[in-house]
Amino acid sequence: MTIEEILNNEELRQHEFPVTARCVFLAHAGVCPLPRRVADAIARYAHAGTEYDQERIVYPEILTETRHIASRLLGCNADEVAFVGPTSLALSLVAAGWPWRRRDNVVVYFDDYPSNVYPWMALAERGVKVRLLNTKGLGCIRPVDVLGQVDEQTRMVALASCHFVSGFRLELESIGRQLHERGILFCVDGIQTLGAFPTPLQHADFLAADAHKWLLGPCAAGLLYVRREHQERLHPGWYGWNNVRCPNFIAQEQIEFRSGPARFEAGTYNLLGLVGLKAAMELLLEIGIENIARELLRKRAQLIPALQEKGYTVLQADAPAQNASAIISFHRPETDMAALHQKLLDNRIVTSLRTDRSGRKYIRVSPHFYNTDAELQRLLDNL
């Protein structure tokens, strides 16, 4: 199945993405609707779970298969992928579990999504200094901004791959490479690009991403990438029968963590979520991430000038191609953006309403590859 086939065959599109028969859904940077094949995979597993031990019917094959599929998506080794759940939990694991030294500092962006701010702020209690990036615009984080903020005491830089409001996409490869040249670790919140744009990990040490946005998967079925060389140094901070060795489920006198990604997976797996995640990633790999990225940038190029013609200010409208994304946030002076957002909902057009630190409200549009030009035009007509 290709993007062209989906966009040119409405029967196929509505079959694969049932939400399209109900509304124009343009909020994938929030919480996505499930594609049919993802929902069907979950439903089949849930039904099978009524007739037998719900773990035995998929375990352990689901772990092996999903890790390998995730490794293809991420471009890493399968034994570097852990199933931890929500992005917030995975980022908290990295922040709390790394062996920090007093006087270390970590560089973050204060106007990032709170899940990628609070875990790092909490390190101040351990004597770690939290450095806040200065940027020229909301979420506009350039390599020079990052490198100008680090010093010999910087242990880690923790940033999102794409800003959740402005849609500015980071140059991960350039930032990560230059940080590694300085011996600085790089942790990435990848939830706003994984499934939509290539998210290179060659120069990243950690990445967390839940499945419920661009990955088109279920909530709390996220991925945690931990570079193999760091796994033994990262302390999980939680203990269970699965990540601590306990032969025959008998507690031992010494706590010894399992090796590999299981080190971070304390207890019973979210098998419903993993079944859905596997189906979602298979769909995205079938379509092709590079193909998806091209289509999303095409949609962006179509929407931005049309919004500007209507008098709207679009955040990061002129972002270079390497920084552009499918997150498009806009506002207009003396326009009640909350009321406009509700009007769109009333007309079955789903967008997101977001607010910056100053209190200014934006309508955020985030289409995926299966949204048609006609749906985008319907949005514009209602504006």
Helix, strand, coil share (%) of the chain residues, nearest 5:
40, 15, 45
Residue at token pair 């989906």: 6
Mean pLDDT, residues 268-272 taken together: 97
SS3 352: strand
Residue at a domain's end among 252, 268, 286? 286
Q: How far is CA 48 from CA 36, 42, 269, in A?
A: 18, 10, 17
pLDDT tier at 305, thresholds 50, 70, 90 = very high
| Residues in CB range of 8: below 8 A, 6 or more apart | none
- Residue 22 is part of a domain; what is its CATH number? 3.90.1150.10
Q: How far is CA 342 from CA 76, 253, 351, 357, 361, in A?
A: 42, 59, 9, 22, 13
User: Structural domain of residue 196, as residue ranges?
Assistant: 44-286
Residue at a domain's end among 244, 259, 286? 286
Q: Are 313 and 236 part of one and the same domain?
A: no
Q: Are 222 and 208 in contact (CB under 8 A)?
A: yes
Q: Where are the alpha helices (DSSP H) in 114-261?
A: 118-121, 143-147, 172-181
Q: Check residue 142 and give its pLDDT.
A: 97
Q: Are 98 and 7 part of one and the same domain?
A: no
Q: Are 107 and 170 in contact (CB under 8 A)?
A: no
Q: Check residue 199 and give its pLDDT.
A: 95
Closest CA to 227 of 76, 73, 61: 76
Q: Are 355 and 312 part of one and the same domain?
A: yes
Q: Report the percent of the chain where pLDDT is more than 70.
A: 100
Average pLDDT of the chain, as a whole number: 97
Q: Are 336 and 275 part of one and the same domain?
A: no
Q: Are 281 and 293 part of one and the same domain?
A: no
Q: Are 238 and 330 part of one and the same domain?
A: no
Q: Are 238 and 293 part of one and the same domain?
A: no
Mean pLDDT, residues 119-138 taken together: 96
Mean pLDDT, residues 344-367 taken together: 98
Closest CA to 170 of 362, 320, 364: 320
CA distance 199 to 107: 20
Q: Are 268 and 295 part of one and the same domain?
A: no
Q: Are 187 and 322 part of one and the same domain?
A: no
Mean pLDDT, residues 123-150 taken together: 96
SS3 11: helix
How many structural domains are present in the chain? 2
Q: Tell me, yes or no, whether 35 lies in a domain.
A: no
* pTM, entire model: 0.96
Determine how β-strand 328-331 pairs with β-strand 349-350: unpaired
Q: Are 296 and 224 part of one and the same domain?
A: no
Q: Check residue 198 and give its pLDDT.
A: 96
Half-sphere exposure of 375 (CA within 13 A, CB side): 25
- Residue 238 is part of a domain; what is its CATH number? 3.40.640.10
Q: Are 169 and 323 in contact (CB under 8 A)?
A: yes
Closest CA to 303 of 284, 337, 285, 326: 326
Strand partners, 162: 169
Q: Where are the alpha helices (DSSP H) in 124-265?
A: 143-147, 172-181
pLDDT tier at 301, thresholds 50, 70, 90 = very high
Q: Check residue 335 and give its pLDDT.
A: 96
Q: Report the percent of the chain where pLDDT is more than 90.
A: 99
Q: Are 297 and 190 part of one and the same domain?
A: no
Q: Tell me, yes or no, whether 33 lies in a domain.
A: no
Q: What is the pLDDT of residues 223-269, one digit of tens each?
A: 999 999 999 999 999 999 999 999 999 999 999 999 999 999 999 99
Q: What is the pLDDT of residues 25-51, one digit of tens each?
A: 999 999 999 999 999 999 999 999 999
Tokens representing residue 95 in the block? 């922040």
Q: Are 22 and 53 part of one and the same domain?
A: no
Q: What is the pLDDT of residues 331-347, one digit of tens each?
A: 999 999 999 999 999 99
Q: Check residue 14 and give its pLDDT.
A: 98
Q: Tell me, yes or no, whether 37 lies in a domain.
A: no
Q: Tell me, yes or no, whether 36 lies in a domain.
A: no
Q: Tell me, yes or no, whether 32 lies in a domain.
A: no
Residue at a domain's end among 256, 286, 316? 286
